[in-house]
Structure 1
Amino acid sequence: MRMSSGDTVSETQFAQLADGLEDSLSGSASSSEDTDQSDDDAVSALVRKAKRLNTIRAGGDEDDDTANRNVPNTPVAWFHAPPATQLGVYKVIFPSSLISYRGEDTGQRYLEELRHMQKGGGEEGRKWALFMVASGHFAGAIVRVSRPEGEEEDGGLTKKGKPKKPKLDTEVLKHKTFHRYTTRRKQGGSQSANDNSKSKAVSAGAMLRRYGEQALRDDIRSLLTDWADELYDCERIFIRASVSNRRIFLDYEGAVLEKGDDRLRTFPFPTRRPTQSELVRCLQELTRAKTSHLTEDALREQDEAYLASLPKPKPVPAPTPAQPQRKPEKPKLSPEELAQLEAQRELEDRWSRVFEMIAKGRLDALKSFLARGGDALGPSGVNAQAPEDIDDASKGETLLVYAVRKGQEDIVRWLLEDARADPTIDAYRSVNAPVADSFEDDDEASRRIAGGSRRTAYDFARTKGVRNVFRRCAAEHADWWDWLGTGEGGARVPSVLSKEMEEEREEKKKVRRKGLKEKIKEREAVQKEKEPAVIEPPKPEARKTPKESVDGPRKLGGPSSAGESVMGLTPEMRAKVERERRARAAEARMKTLGGGR
């Protein structure tokens, strides 16, 4: 065992220190300076303190055994040596049975176990195993924390007569570290955790991280298999890993470590990134005793402050017999109400089917459906309005209004002429859509509606074809309705459109087209007369130029031929020469045309 100062304590020295310790654990003692009163020593103070804590935590009597289990559990077991010295040792180095023990002789048992641990661990000494894994980093080591029994503590003398260096109690027998890419940079979290919380990523980085997790798991398990013999001799095995990473060491086929192994421990203090140096630091933290020097008064103040900080237990109310919760009963309907509800649902279904036929322009299906029953949609027949529970876009509309809104000319014509639908019904309250939304692309319809608050089926016509259907029907069946009326009972159709009017309009169109054709012909003839006659210029005779000898003198500017005149020039100069040649040819043609006139 080492002190926090780093000095080694021999077995004989430790026995002397242990004899001077009072059996006080996990806290301090409150004793009087009078040594004659034995009930005020450290052990008695510890017992009283434990009972007070039990009373506060359990809310029962001090002698209640069940309250002893509620003593606050700390990771360090503290021993008090008068007058003002405290020694602390981590509890995880002790057996599990002693850690969970809550008797009055707990301190004595801890002391006995410490003495036993100082005797060594057989021929090979005591061995511990330490493993850490986090964020793709792994570090593992098997260390010897005490020398084998019978090994000399003093090193003796060297050949030169100098004293040998004493062997260290702790020695690293095996160690291994490696790293795999398993987490996203600056975002944390493993790839498997991200896949479980969200949809599985398909990026290249995600695939690399999944491969890294699998490789890390395989590497660790392979290392455990290689170290199986050493792990079998280890007295304690410390593992620092998350819940998901802990499955790497346990719960797999052929696992070296079993899940219920009594040797498994966790580090009782915060740790950093898994490295070899971090394992050495954690080993020193576990094997070195903590020391403090507090007086009895300081310890007593700490106890009082700690007791004051504990929350007071809330009064537990007496349990009341649970009453069975009754589900709210649905209101029972009478047979008449059930029949009415069923009829309402059937009516809504019929209206939905009819509106679907109209929207798709299925006139034959609509005729067959309405022919089955005159009152299939209600007592008013084709003039009935859609029920309130129907779709908001068509609630309260008649078949004629809906067909007009959908622009179905054939269905509108059939409803007006064959089904005798009423075009004078005021549909102002039948449509929920605002005027601006319904006719934002039709200026004429907007002007018609803006003129008054009353609207009929004609006011919903957005196309000229649907409006002409109303006008033709008004001309052919003028005695059926007040087509041209704008007041109550009027259909608000602006004018009629008879066959004679349509024939007259077609005739006017034909005359207008014929006149336009004649004007176009006259304009073309006049333009043709004004154009001058084009006289082809005579072809110039090819002049024969004497061939010049290659060896003789040549004219300045090169040969006279067009093909040879541009030889040796840059592309820009060639283009300039070609433009000048074309300009001269154009001037020659203009002069020829002027002389011909």
Structure 2
Amino acid sequence: MTENRPRMKTNDLYVFELPEEIFRSLELMVFDSTVTEIETDQRKSLTKADLDQQNETLDLQGGCRTCENALGSTPERKAHYKTDYHRFNIKRKLNNLPPISSDEFDILAENDDVESLSGSDSNSDSEDDLYNEDKDKLSSILEDQIATMRVTEESETGIESHLNTRSPQIYFKSKFLPEDQVLGAYKALFSKSTIENALETIQNWNHSTSSKAGFENPYSALFMVGGGHFAGAIVSHKRLNIKGNMTKGNESMQERAVQFLEHKTFHRYTTRRKQGGSQSAMDNSKGKANSAGSSLRRYNETALRTDIQQLLQQWQPYLKNCENIFIRAKSTSDRKIFLDASACLDKNDARIRSFPFTTKRPTGHELKRAWCHLAYLHINKRPQADVKAKVVAEKFDNQRASKITSFPKVEDPDDIHTRELISLLKKSRAPALISYLRKNDLNANFKLKPQDDYYQTPTMLHYASQQGLKNMVLILLSNLKCDPTVQNSNGKTPWELTKKTEIRQAFQVARHNLGENFTDWNASRIDVPMSREDVDAINEKEKQMLELEKARLMKEELSAAKERQRLEKEARRGPGKILAPQLSSFQQNNNSLSDNQRMRLMREQRARAAEARMKLNANKQ
């Protein structure tokens, strides 16, 4: 069966004009670092009516609101205001701590050995010095209390605050909403001092009828700039009465109720279409362009800056006394328009804030939409605890507790020596390595620790051989006289841990330098000794052979490339084709004659042939 809750209208959620029943139903939600809800203390969750009733009772009784004590006559109240007890409760109130009773203060003063806080000690040099001394004592007591309270809270429940929402909003519970829904108010509406007491701040907003300068209603400033567009407005916290007005298709009821005391929008051509960014940004990234369009955009950027700063100067009386100043700037250069030396705004002004949500192109309608989105309470789903963060926090607490309870582990000196020696080996700092061994009276065959980490390289010579440190191999063998026959857990000597020719040659050179009587070289498995000259000759010969082989390969590759080019050329050209049958010259001439000319030609040819036969027969006779 569903509960019959009164319906909450959106128009009633304006944070500066909340209905009384809605405000009384608000309860500030407190969370820990993992966004797990913490039940608030009864004192923190007092409603507006309870606070008013409590203050009225104290006023009727002539009591002190700070100490929450009922006082009698006027002289008694004056004497109370001068006591250290009252001053101490004022300090607690400034640090968001509840007041303490006079008996608790007396016990606290006795425990902290505070004597003569009221200034009755005759040995004081002056009244001012005594007051400052008493003030320091009170401050030290309060600081100890705050530190103790923070340590207790962090050790038991962690940091608890209504600001731990991991959201730009703070949340309130209300009886007008289901259990899975809450009301959210943007943190940007509050200053650093007022957000600590959010419910009291909202109460002051709903009962405040005058701003700082004594105007009829408080107001705020809204500014948006980007892409050459600018929109600015001075918006009153009091809404307009729109009953009986005609509706507009593109505005909601909340937007039509926004009251602008001043507003201005203008645009200048500062950004090339579809290119993105201002002309100054393009100049800084790609260099200064010399086109007519770029010159126009640079001029318009300067003009836009001048127009905005002139408008700020005109609105300076408003800006001096407004409650909040919200600025939306697309880039750092746009934001400097409001905060540089030519503007009337101070960059350290606590009233300057940014819109905590994304906005569209700066227009007058967008200013109204942004203000409504900012100044109205939002109905959201109840925030869920971050399970992963909670598990990590518990694990961290357990680790911290184990570190506190466990005794500090004493590190083995051999481990420290191993770290230093390995560091010097990697850097090939031979003089420093020799100096460190002599200073700490360490042997050249020092066993590296811990053994589990260095089971393959138990000595410095093993490590240098495996890592390919040629110079250090020579130094360790020739200078420090390390034993090359030492074997690791797998039965391998330093010589067998390397596969590089240059390291093997370093071992052979060291064997030549030390002589055959230095150790059992067969046990070290090092190859035959060689002098530096022999090594250089072998390396030079191998270098020449490599160069010859390289030249031969290059020649073969060049010949193969030429052959490939020849074959590709022939393949492209081909054997050719006969496009038409070849005709004899007689056939070509005959084809060009007419029929009569062809018949006459044929008769003449037959006659010539007959004459030739007759002549041939006459010669035979």
Same fold at TM > 0.5: no
TM-score under structure 1 normalisation?
0.41
- Between 1 and 2, higher relative CO (CA 8 Å, sep ≥ 6) is seen in 2
TM-score under structure 2 normalisation?
0.40
Larger Rg: 1
Structure richer in helix, relative to its length: 2
